[in-house]
């Protein structure tokens, strides 16, 4: 055996304890704290469940980031950890070393063994301002606040075994444990299960929520009250939700409209909302108007994709004061070919001083629409990336666009459609024609920018058959079909 392979005394001690679980459990009370992380990790990996339970109950740090060890769902290990929490809370006399405040089930920690160097801030990272004040006001001899279990949840179609295990455990211990979800995704769950899930979690802890449900009407009333309590929600992503009271077949349209109004009015209570996304969502124009009127704080990003926008919708967007400081604007897949560009131009003018990312892909814009937007685009001085793929621009107007963008010194990613002259009547790219126009178009940019900037710091790409390869040396792309 080489010197490098000789186990250290530290590792030998851990191995000895693992070989005798009874000995290890009896030694926990007097064990040095720096032994806990490596021993816990080895017990977890080796599936020593009894030792795992005992170590949770004796954990000498404020936070136990066990999610860093659960790369894949493990019901048996999760149950052992939860049993350890039950052991801890069932003790009538508080253990001398009792410091555990947070069980973190999120896989966000890079190294579990670093737990011993973390500060108290981690244990309080999910607390609201009012909770922190209560903690400061407690006398030193007061009982500790309830244990907090922090997790991210992604529910899709049905509850998985480990999700059911945790939810049932938390439901039975509502008075002693707080189950906090920071990022939640709910995808096509039955309405009854969604209601149960939202009843178990405390809404004010949710910071990011993605919701997809095709059973809108049965769910609206319950979700409205829950949404209004998500006071720390920063990101809201709605996917494939159809809410149109003028078209939905329902015995009582009056009731449906009341439900819709109740949901949309809750947006006025979202004091922390910064990122809002709608993917394939249908709201009527009246609902869009109400939604953007109810926004409480300025948004940082707005993403509306794969849906129809009316002229009225664009008007509401351009008039909304909470959209004047956008950094990210995404309208991919929004059909703009039949709409007047007036209100979109006003919106771009409103965000010209802050906008960093603009995506207008698959909008089918025409020459006249782009020409109307060029003055506003040229004012977006903070823009770092822009995507105009899959729009119908002629060579002449595309040149005008490149000249406008050439003045924006912070641009680092630019994606443009191939000009219409490069396509045949069947909609296929004419490779030879495309190869001819590429240098001419890119010369427009290089004429006004430093060559080094274009060659090394900027990605400039022209769409060819929607698939292109980027050559970092020549800044050209070509069809590889």
pLDDT in tens, 186-242: 887 777 787 788 888 888 899 999 988 766 666 667 778 888 899 999 999 988 876
pLDDT of residue 257: 75
Rg (Cα) of the chain, in Å, rounded?
28
pLDDT of residue 211: 86
Q: For residues 333 and 298, what is the distance between their CA atoms, to the nearest angstrom?
A: 24
Q: What is the enclosing helix (H) or strand (E) of 373? A: helix 367-377
The residue among 253, 189, 185 whose CA lies nearest residue 219 is: 189
The reply to whether 391 falls in a domain is no
Whether residue 12 is predicted with pLDDT greater than 90 in this model: the reply is no
How many domains are there within the chain? 1
Round the average pLDDT of the chain to a whole number and report it: 81
The reply to whether 83 falls in a domain is yes
Whether residue 106 is predicted with pLDDT greater than 50 in this model: the reply is yes
The reply to whether 23 falls in a domain is yes
Backbone angles phi, psi at 149, to 5 degrees: -110, 115
Helix or strand or coil: residue 411? coil
The reply to whether 15 falls in a domain is yes
Each residue's pLDDT tens digit, 164-192: 999 999 999 888 888 899 999 988 777 77
The whole-number average pLDDT for the span 48-70 is 91
The residue among 147, 165, 141, 144 whose CA lies nearest residue 104 is: 147
pLDDT of residue 450: 56
pLDDT of residue 114: 75
The reply to whether 302 falls in a domain is no
pLDDT of residue 475: 41
Of residues 370 and 73, more confidently modeled: 370
The reply to whether 12 falls in a domain is yes
The reply to whether 124 falls in a domain is no
Helix, strand and coil percent figures for the chain, each rounded to 5: 45, 15, 40
455: which DSSP letter? I
pLDDT of residue 198: 80
| Four-point Cα dihedral 201, 203, 204, 210, nearest 10 | 110
* Sequence-ordered list of residues with C-beta below 8 angstroms from that of 201, at least 6 positions apart, any chain: 179, 180, 181, 184
Each residue's pLDDT tens digit, 340-392: 999 999 999 999 999 999 999 999 999 999 999 999 999 999 999 999 998 99
pLDDT of residue 15: 81
pLDDT of residue 328: 98
Q: For residues 89 and 95, what is the distance between their CA atoms, to the nearest angstrom?
A: 10
pLDDT of residue 20: 85
The residue among 305, 390, 313, 317 whose CA lies nearest residue 349 is: 317
The reply to whether 48 falls in a domain is yes
Whether the Cβ atoms of residue 447 and residue 406 lie closer than 8 Å to each other: yes
Whether residue 331 is predicted with pLDDT greater than 70 in this model: the reply is yes
Whether residue 54 is predicted with pLDDT greater than 70 in this model: the reply is yes
Q: What global pTM score does this model have? A: 0.82
The whole-number average pLDDT for the span 36-42 is 90
In this prediction, residue 474 has a pLDDT band, given cuts at 50, 70 and 90, of very low
pLDDT of residue 191: 75
Backbone angles phi, psi at 359, to 5 degrees: -125, 115
Give the structural domain span for 78.
3-115
């Amino acid at each position: 055996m080489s010197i490098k392979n000789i186990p250290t005394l530290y590792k030998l001690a851990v191995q000895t304890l693992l070989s005798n679980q009874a000995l290890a459990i009896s030694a926990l009370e007097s064990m040095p704290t720096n032994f806990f992380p490596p021993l816990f990790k080895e017990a977890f990996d080796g599936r020593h469940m009894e030792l795992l339970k005992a170590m949770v109950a004796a954990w000498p740090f404020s936070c136990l980031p066990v999610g860093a060890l659960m790369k894949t769902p493990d019901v048996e290990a999760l149950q052992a950890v939860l049993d350890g929490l039950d052991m801890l809370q069932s003790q009538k006399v508080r253990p001398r070393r009792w410091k555990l405040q947070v069980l973190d089930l999120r896989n966000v920690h890079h190294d579990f063994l670093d737990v011993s160097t973390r500060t108290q801030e981690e244990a309080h990272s999910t607390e609201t301002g009012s909770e922190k004040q209560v903690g400061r006001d407690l006398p030193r001899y007061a009982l500790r606040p309830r244990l907090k279990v922090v997790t991210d949840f992604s529910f899709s179609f049905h509850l998985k075994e480990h999700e059911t295990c945790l939810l049932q455990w938390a439901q039975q211990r509502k008075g002693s444990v707080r189950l906090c979800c920071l990022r939640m995704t709910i995808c096509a769950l039955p309405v009854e299960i969604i209601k149960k899930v939202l009843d178990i979690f405390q809404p004010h802890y949710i910071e990011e929520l993605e919701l997809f449900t095709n059973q809108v009407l049965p769910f609206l009333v319950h979700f409205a009250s829950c949404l209004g309590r998500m006071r720390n929600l920063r990101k809201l992503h709605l996917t494939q939700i159809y809410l149109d009271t003028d078209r939905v077949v329902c015995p009582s349209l009056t009731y449906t409209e009341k439900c819709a109004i109740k949901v949309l009015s809750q947006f006025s209570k979202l004091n922390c909302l910064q990122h809002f996304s709608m993917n394939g969502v249908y709201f009527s124009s009246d609902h869009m108007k109400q939604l953007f009127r109810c926004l409480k704080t300025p948004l940082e990003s707005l993403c509306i994709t794969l849906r129809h926008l009316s002229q009225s919708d664009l008007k509401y967007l351009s008039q909304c004061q909470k959209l004047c400081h956008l950094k990210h604007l995404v309208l991919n897949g929004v059909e703009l070919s039949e709409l007047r560009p007036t209100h979109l131009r006003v919106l771009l003018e409103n965000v010209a001083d802050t906008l960093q990312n603009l995506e207008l892909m698959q909008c089918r814009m025409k020459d006249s629409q782009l020409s109307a937007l060029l003055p506003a685009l040229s004012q977006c001085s903070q823009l770092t990336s822009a995507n105009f793929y899959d729009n119908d621009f002629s060579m002449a107007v595309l040149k005008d666009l490149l000249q406008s963008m050439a003045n924006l010194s912070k641009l680092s990613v630019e994606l443009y459609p191939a000009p219409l002259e490069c396509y045949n009547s069947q909609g296929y790219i004419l490779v030879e024609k495309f190869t001819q126009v590429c240098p001419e178009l890119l010369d427009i940019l290089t004429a006004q920018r430093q060559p080094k900037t274009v060659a090394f710091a900027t990605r400039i790409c022209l769409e060819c058959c929607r698939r292109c390869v980027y050559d970092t040396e020549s800044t050209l792309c070509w069809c590889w079909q």
